[in-house]
Structure 1
Amino acid sequence: MDTVEGLFDVSDEHKRDLLEALQVLSALQGDSPSLDELLVAARINCISKIEVYFLQDPSQLRQPLNLRNEAAAVSLLLGHYGSRRSRSSGDPAQAALLAALAEYSRKLWPELASGDVAVSSGSGSGSGSGLDGSSSSGQPEQQAAQLPRGQAAPPGSPGADFEAWAREQGVAAAISLASFGSLRGCAASRDVAPGEPLLSIPADVLIYEDSVKGTDLGRMLHAIPDLTIDNLLVLFTMIDRHDEDSRWARYWHSLPDKYYTGISFPQPLVDSLAGTAAHLELARAQQHLQDQYAATRPLFDMLLTAYPQFLKPEWFDYDCYLWAAELWYSYAFEVEFPAETPKGAAAAAAGPKSGASAASRGKGTKGKGSGSKAKRSGSKASSLAAGTAVAGVSGSSSSGGGSSSSKPVMVPFACHINHSPWPHCVRYGRLNPKTRTLDYPAFRPCQAGQQVFISYGPVPNLKLLCYYGFVVPHNPHDLVPLQLEPPEGPLKQQQLAAMEALGLGLEHSLQDGPLSKQLLACLRLIVATSAELQLVVKHKVDPLAGAIAPENEDQALRTLEAALVELLAPLELLPLLLEEDLPAEAGAVEGAEARQADVSAAGGSSGGGNDGETAPAQEQAEGALEQLHLQGAAAAASGSMSQEAAAGQHQEGGSMEAKPQQQQQQQQQDQCNENGFDADWHMSRRFCKIYLQGQHHILQRSLQECRRLLRP
């Protein structure tokens, strides 16, 4: 069997400790590791920092830790062994392992429940039984057949024209743009099996620092002194989107005219989140962007003065700057590039059609900068990376060795794929050094017409709301940030020193689950006496392993209890959280909650369809966000519909209420743009409420957990 050397990252000390604790490191160094051992190693390799933070015991990794981690682990193994299929055709053990892995991937996701669910049984080995030992033969295909199919972009539309352009550029796609109600996404254009690519995009199609510098406009902008990469990309986008001769013109045309991320929320909507982490983050992000624009305004004026025949003042107003910034925040990916990039690759990115931009075509001169430099405020919004999607790439066998660099990249086509915690693709963040393509392999099957999802990573609703404009109901990766601070006094410096020695910080998080060991350890140190701190310093007790002393433990938990009560009190008074949903919205939420309850009661699936078959829980959850968009569109349209009814503007043959359902749904969808948002912010307001509900739920769950530990 082929060696697995280089497949897993054993240079990370913490990951290596986990491998040794679970006794799989020696198995990896042998000739024939089992599928179970490979899955454990892959879970460790793909574990994120926040997943390590909440890990209670290494033994949890013998089973699927959560949906995202398992997806990344399976995808890593499929990519490694699938690429060796041809070379191992004569190796029966290798072929058997690959077959077992493919079977595990096929059966895994229909068996997992919605949310952050750990599976309690083994990985299976292609025996024909499900994860719980029951037969699941044929169910995935039958269940997938019940999912709604997307409607392709109509001929002549910007979406259809973009797809034609992508094919001309050499993009290999097993997906196509499609509408799912009022929400645009991507649908599989054919049946896709685990390990097959959903997308394969040549490097010269990507929009990033190097390819931008390969254009005349990019070279001119790059020559401006002190222009940051962030501003280079935003400024290039603001100008290039208006250049009909740009190589990416047909891509720009496929994008929405407006984004509805948290960065552009109106002030009343921001204020509706008062007292929450989202309110603080949105206030910082919006102020930062306004400061960036003000600092860059002299540069815009300089360009307009230098190129009045090519540039228009309306291209540089704040709304245009906001559009470009939101595009990069919400659509960009963080991509890892091989250390050695062939010379001329950046120039090749310009392509035969890029020519010069409207700003510099035929001029041959380089613009002079004003000397202004956009200042970073220090908030999370100070970099394009604040919103970029980051896929797990560590340990990928495609790295080719050597160091690499990670850059924010606009990826035409991939940017149209929607996010889900239950994705079809999770590992897409590294450029293939051999083919010079960015590949998006599926790790689970997807039938033709079914919506395809990718994962942006374990992203909490706070980040989704602020930088993408939406949230995920029942998001398994949702968090509540918690900032600790030792009280002022003679022991504060000793407490901080003890935390530093244990690798602990003061910034913590709460989840819909057990309290973090790091959080409890910090609380124990914050309330520790001088004598208790000495025990920790002398390594006689370990606050990460358990209580320092009974009195200390009681005080630590009561401190946390008081903090949680203090956080819950103002949250429960927010009008947005208290207000009742509109009927259409309530139906969506109740439906999602009912499905969630069914999933929990059924241990992973709820009834669906007329034939008695059970629908996979994560596929139902995938539809929850889509249904929220539809119901939000109904809420957005309800005001205008009521006005029409009051004015007697009924269609022939009946009132507004008597309209055929299809016609009414079309009117509702017309209120929304292709991303499912409406100009009156009804959908955004709904997402804000879901965010608040999630924060409230996590705080309540943490309070219950705290009190359970206080009174066992």
Structure 2
Amino acid sequence: METDNQTFSSDEVRDDDGCFILLALDRNDHLFDKKKKLLERQGFMSENLIFLKCSMYPEEVDTVLKELVQIARILQLNELEMYFGENNEGTPVDFYSPRNEVEAFDTIISLLDSSLSSCTPAQFSVLQELRKAVIHMIHEYGNVHSMDAKTLENSCEKENCLLQWGESSGVRTSLKVAYVEGAGRGTIAKEDLDVGDTVLEIPLAIIISEELVQKSTMYPILSKVEGMLPETMMLLWSMKEKHIVDSKFRVYFDTLPEAFNTGLSFGIGAMATLVGTLLFDELMQAKEHLRKQYNELFPALCNDHPAIFPKEFYSWEEFLWACELWYSNSLKIMFPDGHVRTCLVPIAGFLNHSLHPHILHYGKVDSDTNSLKFRLSRPCRAGEECYLSYGNYSGSHLVTFYGFLPEGDNVDDVIPLDIDFSEEDNNNVTSDWNTHMVRGTWLSKNQGIFHYGLPSPFLECFRKALFPGLHTNCKGSLEGEIDVLSELLLIFSGMMEKFEDEDEDEDESRTSTEWDVKLALEYKDLQRKIVSSCLTSCHAGLKTVEFALCDCMKEDIRG
């Protein structure tokens, strides 16, 4: 899971008849130049002063809000969204991704709240009206993705014990724990909750951080091990702590599963299913890294310090379990001293990930209350599961470290492409992007000629390599476009052939009841679907270009 990462700066300037809202691009943003160009193409600047009159008609509020949202969307773009959302025509993009949309709303709400805290009575009304309009937009967006959770009758005795323990230690929550169909444990809203509400507050005193290791008997030993990281110390501490009967965190460890079922635990059958995929390579590297790390520590620590590191607590199986615990449940938290530490946060681990989360920012301890607060970025109705964002991760990352693929279309599910051009072609290629990738073309709204649902930087790279010049509906340009699409068809056909070659081997796997084989097949089917969509789009694009070329030649004849 990720810590907060704000990528915008904002402020407001006042005068007697209203105020100026400032939305500015952060000069430290590593995408500053690209975002600046995009802002300018859409008629904005890197610093935008927007005037708010003290009295505004509803339609004026709507106009200002539309402008604020357009700017905020660009300020909050990440690299992937920039790559797939490039718009050379200069027309506003009304949606980049679920993450970007909620972040844009968050940007505006934070700015308005800051302004409202110190505005004059005359300015209060218009700022409040604008805030209400933003909240209305958030509700409209949230209603599309809102649904009641399908809960099961499984007992939550251990989970409720943890909640009671937490509440006795200062935890406050508007959520309850339940078993959710298809997702295991999850958190359900006990009442209707709105934007900005704190749904979970965890005091620092029950957060598992490196301070616990520093107070333990193993710290003097581990601190002398060369290259030992705080995260590794915490992992080794938790391997032992889970077995201590009178541990302060006994009730927390009792709620943890015997197996986390992440990609790190994939067996031979699942790995064989994944051969040839990006996930196979990632899992092999991760497994090799963990095995190497374990061998560097054990059995040496157990042999040299048997009282501190009992062998029965530090087997390979126990080590892998602890790795999966920390990968899947830890949070990176910024403490009041400014340091970011990897921690386990009891109760927060029940929050599941979603592509349309309610909670985006949760990685900073509130210094006033000395607690970690989880606030809503969109409303959550009573009976609805409350979701967290673990981060902007691809399916391969989520399978590897969390053991699932999310429901819905994940805009971060991309396939990187290693394109080799000839030396002559390379001389013609000048691009703002060093790497290229594709994702499901069904995610794109632009399937027309010269676009085909594929990313513009990728297509432009091919055009410049094969025939430098602008793409227009003239005969030469259209003939060149046919060459581009033909090359792309060769690339995607080769990728699809790899899947088809392995289809016969998969027949037996598809009858398997093993959880890891099922998940591996689900991931592979997703990769196949992405490549298939690219092929389909290229075939459709080729027909469109051929029709356009035919019309162009008819015009020439009539000419």
TM-score, structure 2 length as denominator? 0.78
2: distance between equivalents of 1:47 and 1:205?
35
The amino acid that maps onto 2:35 is K
- Unpaired runs of 5+ in structure 2? 1-10, 14-20, 53-60, 445-452, 545-559
Equivalent pair of 1:75/1:442 in contact (CA under 8 Å): no
Residue in structure 1 matched with residue 97 of structure 2 by the alignment: 66
Q: Aligned runs of 1:617-632 on 2, under 5 Å? A: none
Do the aligned partners of residues 405 and 61 (structure 1) sit closer, same or farther apart at CA in structure 2, a change above 3 Å counting? farther
State the alpha-carbon separation in 1 of the partners of residues 403 and 203 from structure 2: 29
**What corresponds to 2:305 in structure 1?**
306
Tell me whether 1:704 sits opposite 2:536 in the alignment.
yes
Distance across 2 between alignment mates of 1:576 and 1:457: 34
Whether 2:317 is the aligned partner of 1:319: answer yes
1:333 and 1:411 in contact (8 A); partners too: yes
- DSSP 3-state at the match of 1:29: strand
Classify 1:293/1:423 alpha carbon distance in 2 versus 1 (closer, same or farther; 3 Å).
same
Decide whether the 8 Å contact of 2:24 with 2:47 is kept in 1.
Answer: no
Contact 1:300 1:316 in 2 (8 A): no
**1:639 corresponding residue in structure 2:** none
Answering whether residue 120 of structure 2 is matched by residue 92 of structure 1, we say no
Specify the alignment match of 2:8 in structure 1: none
**2:222–2:233 contact (8 Å) kept in structure 1:** yes
The answer as to 2:37 corresponding to 1:20 is no
The 8 Å contact of residues 272 and 575 in structure 1, kept in 2 or not, is answered as no
Quote the residue 1:169 is aligned against: 169
Residue 78 of structure 1, CA deviation: 3.4
* Bigger relative contact order (CA 8 A; separation at least 6): 1
SS of residue paired to 1:272: helix
Structure 1 pair 249–47 and aligned structure 2 pair: CA distance change class (3 A): farther
* RMSD over equivalenced CA pairs, Å: 3.5
1:659-698 to structure 2, matched below 5 A, reads: 681-682=514-515, 684-698=516-530
Relative to 1, partners in 2 of residues 1:480 and 1:443: Cα closer, same or farther, differing over 3 Å? closer
- Contact 1:276/1:571, CA 8 A, preserved across alignment: no
> SS of the residue aligned with 2:269?
helix
Taking structure 1 as reference, are residues 494 and 466 closer, same or farther at Cα in structure 2, changes over 3 Å only?
A: same
Distance 2:505 2:369 in 1: 51
CA change 1:313–1:49 in 2 (3 A) is: same
Q: For the Cα contact (< 8 Å) 2:301–2:309, is it kept in 1?
A: no
TM-aligned CA deviation for residue 260 of structure 1: 0.5
Task: Report 1:98-247 matches (<5 A).
Answer: 98-111=131-144, 144=147, 147-149=149-151, 154=156, 157-181=157-181, 183-209=184-210, 212-213=213-214, 217-218=218-219, 220-247=221-248
- After the TM superposition, which of the residue ranges 77-86 and 284-293 deviates more from structure 2? 77-86
Which residue type is aligned with residue 511 of structure 1? G
SS at match of 2:298: helix
Query: How many pairs are equivalent?
Result: 497
- Bigger shift: residues 98-107 or 197-206: 197-206
What corresponds to 1:78 in structure 2?
109
CA deviation after TM superposition for structure 1 residue 253, in Å:
2.1
Sequence identity percentage = 23
Greater shift after overlay, 12-21 or 102-111?
12-21
| Farther off after superposition, 215-224 or 275-284 | 215-224
Query: 2:199 is paired with a residue of what secondary structure?
Result: strand
Counterpart Cα distance in 1 of 2:236 and 2:65:
49
- For residues 267 and 39 of structure 1, the distance between their equivalents in structure 2, rounded to whole angstroms, comes to 49
Residue number in structure 2 paired with 1:516: 455
Instruction: Flag the 1:256–1:190 CA change in 2: closer, same or farther, 3 A.
Output: same
SS at match of 1:23: coil
Give the Cα–Cα distance (whole angstroms) in 2 for the partners of residues 525 and 210 of structure 1.
56
From 393, 396, 402, the counterpart of 1:459: 393
Which structure 2 residues correspond to residues 144-543 of structure 1 after superposition, within 5 A?
144=147, 147-149=149-151, 154=156, 157-181=157-181, 183-209=184-210, 212-213=213-214, 217-218=218-219, 220-302=221-303, 305-308=304-307, 310-335=308-333, 337=334, 341-342=336-337, 406-477=340-411, 479-486=413-420, 490-491=423-424, 494=427, 498-499=429-430, 502-512=431-441, 513=444, 514-524=453-463, 527=466
CA distance in 1, matches of 2:107, 2:477: 44
Q: Secondary structure of 1:19's match?
A: helix
| Paired residue secondary structure (2:374) | strand
Alpha carbons of structure 1 residues 21 and 60: separation in structure 2 relative to 1, 3 Å: closer
Aligned CA distance change for structure 1 residues 42 and 166 (closer, same or farther; 3 Å): farther
Residue 605 (structure 1) aligns with: none
Relative to 1, partners in 2 of residues 1:150 and 1:78: Cα closer, same or farther, differing over 3 Å? farther
Partners of 2:200 and 2:373 within 8 A in 1: yes
Q: CA deviation at 1:62?
A: 4.3
Question: Is 1:504–1:522's contact at 8 Å kept on the other side of the alignment?
Answer: no
Which secondary structure state, in structure 2, belongs to the residue aligned with residue 162 of structure 1?
A: helix
1:566 Cα deviation (Å)?
0.9
**How far 1:694 moved relative to its partner?**
1.5
Deviation per CA, 1:268-290, whole angstroms, max 9, x where unpaired? 11101222112222222222221
Q: Aligned in 2, Cα 1:36/1:490: closer, same or farther, shift over 3 Å?
A: closer
Given residue 278 of structure 1, which amino acid in structure 2 is its aligned partner?
L
- Alignment partner of 2:66 out of 36, 40, 55: 36
Report the residue type matching 2:380 in the other structure.
C
Q: Hey, what's the Cα distance between the residues in 2 that align with 1:690 and 1:204?
A: 41
Q: Distance in 2 between matches of 1:477 and 1:689?
A: 20
Whether the 8 Å CA contact 2:411–2:439 is kept in 1: the answer is: no
- Whether the aligned pair in 1 keeps the contact of 2:142 and 2:379 (CA below 8 Å) is no
Task: Give the TM-score taking structure 1 as reference length.
Answer: 0.62
Deviations 1:34-64 (A, max 9, x none): 2222222322232221111101317575413
By how many angstroms is 1:504 displaced? 2.7
Which structure 1 segments of 5+ residues have no match?
113-139, 343-403, 533-540, 583-634, 637-680
Paired residues of 1:75 and 1:195 also in contact (CA < 8 A): no
Work out the CA distance in 2 between the residues paired with 1:521 and 1:527.
10
CA contact (8 A) 1:172 1:200 kept: yes
Q: Does the CA contact (< 8 Å) of 1:506 and 1:522 recur in 2?
A: no
Q: Distance in 1 between matches of 2:274 and 2:22?
A: 49
Q: 1:297 to 1:220 in 2, by over 3 A?
A: closer
Distance, in Å, in 2 between the alignment partners of 1:490 and 1:443 is 49
Aligned counterpart, 1:56:
86
Native 8 Å contact 1:430 1:438 kept in 2: yes
Deviation for aligned residue 1:571: 0.9
Given that 1:75 and 1:426 are in contact with CA atoms closer than 8 Å, whether structure 2 keeps it comes out as no
Summarize the Cα distance change of 1:180–1:555 in structure 2 as closer, same or farther, 3 Å threshold: same
Cα distance, 1:417 vs structure 2: 0.8
